[in-house]
Amino acid sequence: MHSHRVTQLALLLFSAALPCRLLATETSPDFQAELQRATSQAMLLQLQPAQHKGVLVEVQKTHPSKQWVMGSATLLLPDQVDEAPETRLFMGQYVKNNWLVGVEGTEQFKQLIEQAPDNLFVSGEKPWLLKSLNAPLPPELQDRLLADVQTGLGLPWAENDSWRLTGGAHGDDQTSRPYNSLDFAGGDGVVRAPRDGRVYQSCVRNGSGLISIVHDNGFSTSYYHMKNLTDLGNGAAITKGTYLGRIGVGLPCGGSTTGPHVHFALKHGGNKTAVDSKIIGGWTFREGSRPYEGYAIRNGTRVNVGGSLRNYGGGSSLPMGIVTPGKGNDKVNLRESPSLSAPIVGSLPEGETVTIICTVQGDWVEGVWGRTQLWNWLSINAWVSDGFINTGSNQAVAPPCAAAPDSES
């Protein structure tokens, strides 16, 4: 562990049949035990893993009042199991002698970040996290509606360099879904950030660990098996291309590996999302009939497992627009379907930035820039007429919806 890294409080909770171990802290045993119990319970309820050795709870930030903490919770795996561990950030607030804990991917996590004191975080970290959390569409809708999703992510090595795809789309184990992971090796072996973000480390042991990056567009990525990890502190801002580590065979959280590589995993809105149909590094990835199969395709060129992929960078991310209600109005209504007669499910104020997922032709609307039939499906699960969204174009800036979603999907 690097000496200047933010001091971490590590709490290890095993299953009921195993002993419990606590590392020394400044807080009382009861205080620690309650945080350990609440965080582990929240993690297990969120993920419902088939097998695990316990939950490693690491507190990375503690407010001076001791009432607020932020850290990571990581599922520890049995040795030699063909799986990759999953880690999630968590927020904790001590209220009425109990810990209220929210795990990444839940509404509670977002609410606790919003309520937490600003000085719990490093400079710029809190607004970055909230921006990312407010950006995504739920993964199950995204995967169902879009044919090809531009993630805005490059591949995790230097642009224009080529590495091998050593493992096609797969999950955390041989049977779990979604297939949110890919394996890469080769090149110079240096793993780099595929997009700007905030970096977090967990389960660091013997020079290896899990690294996660929260990006600004709703996606986050994680990396396993690496060695010679970056010494950047938790929450530090990083730019595309920042050094993260080198490919290796590290198993600090358990699992197995057959050789040096990096296990790359994708999340969206804090939850695992399939890499199938996602554009990463200029390549669209497709899953096969079995884990670790599949391929990547770009401009008609197909690369199977074992082939070489050039990193073309992140490209554009999901398109954005600015709410522009028009003269005499200060907000725009959101609809359940692309129709002026559809129920109103909310509204957005003038100047609000929105993420556009896909588009359809709906009711005609007299918008700010004239008459239009174009409607946008937003990342907040609602429809709005393109006539009131300034996208910089009178044409569609997002792909057509593959199916007509509604706000209750």
* Average confidence (pLDDT) over 343-362: 89
State the Cα torsion 198-201-202-206 to the nearest 10°: 170
Residue ranges and CATH numbers for the domains of the chain are 9-134 (no CATH), 139-310 (2.70.70.10), 320-390 (2.30.30.40)
- Position 315 scores a pLDDT of 73
Q: End-to-end CA distance of the chain: give it in Å, rounded.
A: 45
Residue 333: in which H helix or E strand, if any? strand 331-335
User: Residue 144: pLDDT above 50?
Assistant: no
Of 43-47, 188-192, 374-378, 390-394, give the range with the top mean pLDDT.
188-192
**Residue 178, preceding bond cis, omega within 30 degrees?**
yes
Per the structure block, which two tokens stand in for 290? 């079995």
* Average confidence (pLDDT) over 279-306: 91
Residue 44: in which H helix or E strand, if any? helix 29-47
Q: pLDDT tens across 220-266, in order? A: 999 999 999 999 999 999 999 999 999 999 888 888 788 999 999 99
> How far is the C-alpha of 75 from the C-alpha of 56, rounded, in Å?
6
* Average confidence (pLDDT) over 20-45: 66
Q: How many CA atoms lie within 13 A of 39 on its CB side?
A: 33
Q: pLDDT tens across 124-140, in order? A: 999 999 988 876 554 44
pLDDT band of 351, cuts 50, 70, 90: confident
Number of DSSP helices (H) and strands (E) in the chain, helices first: 4, 29
- Position 8 scores a pLDDT of 38
pLDDT band of 397, cuts 50, 70, 90: confident
- Position 6 scores a pLDDT of 33
H-state helical runs in 300-407: none
What's the pTM value of the predicted model, to 2 decimals? 0.72
> Which of residues 408 and 238 earns the better pLDDT score?
238
Per the structure block, which two tokens stand in for 341? 């007669």
Paired sense of beta strands 236-238 and 243-246, if any: unpaired
- Position 318 scores a pLDDT of 64
State the DSSP code for 50: S
> How far is the C-alpha of 114 from the C-alpha of 93, rounded, in Å?
12
* Average confidence (pLDDT) over 373-396: 89
User: Residue 2: pLDDT above 50?
Assistant: no
User: Residue 406: pLDDT above 80?
Assistant: no
Single-letter residue type at 23:
L
116 CB-near residues (< 8 Å, 6+ apart): 63, 68, 70, 91, 93, 126
H-state helical runs in 293-369: none
179 CB-near residues (< 8 Å, 6+ apart): 169, 170, 171, 274, 275, 276, 287, 291, 294
